[in-house]
Amino acid sequence: TQLLEQSPQFLSIQEGENLTVYCNSSSVFSSLQWYRQEPGEGPVLLVTVVTGGEVKKLKRLTFQFGDARKDSSLHITAAQPGDTGLYLCAGNGGATNKLIFGTGTLLAVQP
């Protein structure tokens, strides 16, 4: 069974601080995605990474896929209250359209 563990589970920080969220598995994934979900809404895709070692940047967000394609990280620089939400990583294990979602990291950025 493929599992994705995220850490930390909860994070409460002040505006302007930096943070990193980790997504780890013992399984290899062909691609990995990060989503952000706000209360009462569905997750919204932030990025897809497909190559081991790949780094992608989206404004203040930096995403990295591990060399072995088993783990990923999300780094936010100078967090803002608008970054508040549930961050989910999700991996695709093979030639199927089924995503395995991580346990989630709930981020609260205080103004």
Partner 1 sequence: KAGVTQTPRYLIKTRGQQVTLSCSPISGHRSVSWYQQTPGQGLQFLFEYFSETQRNKGNFPGRFSGRQFSNSRSEMNVSTLELGDSALYLCASSMPIRGRLDPYGYTFGSGTRLTVV
Q: What distance in Å separates the CA atoms of residue 79 and residue 99, rounded to the nearest whole number?
A: 28
Q: What distance in Å separates the CA atoms of residue 64 and residue 91, rounded to the nearest whole number?
A: 13
- Contact between 88 and 104 (Cβ < 8 Å): yes
- From the list 92, 105, 107, 109, which residue makes contact with partner 1 (rule: CB under 8 A)? 92
User: Judged by CB, which is closer to partner 1: 82, or 95?
Assistant: 95
User: Judged by CB, which is closer to partner 1: 42, or 111?
Assistant: 42
Q: What distance in Å separates the CA atoms of residue 46 and residue 52, rounded to the nearest whole number?
A: 18
User: Judged by CB, which is closer to partner 1: 78, or 95?
Assistant: 95
Structure tokens that stand for 110 in this block: 């205080």
Q: What distance in Å separates the CA atoms of residue 22 and residue 32, rounded to the nearest whole number?
A: 12
CB of 53 to partner 1, least distance (A): 17
**How far, rounded to the nearest angstrom, does the alpha carbon of residue 97 sit from its chain's CA centroid?**
19
- What string marks each residue from 47 to 76 as x (binds partner 1 by CB under 8 A) or -? -x-x--------------------------
Verify binding: residue 98, partner 1, rule CB under 8 A: yes
Binding positions for partner 1, rule: CB under 8 A? 30-31, 33, 35, 40-45, 48, 50, 88, 90, 92, 95-104
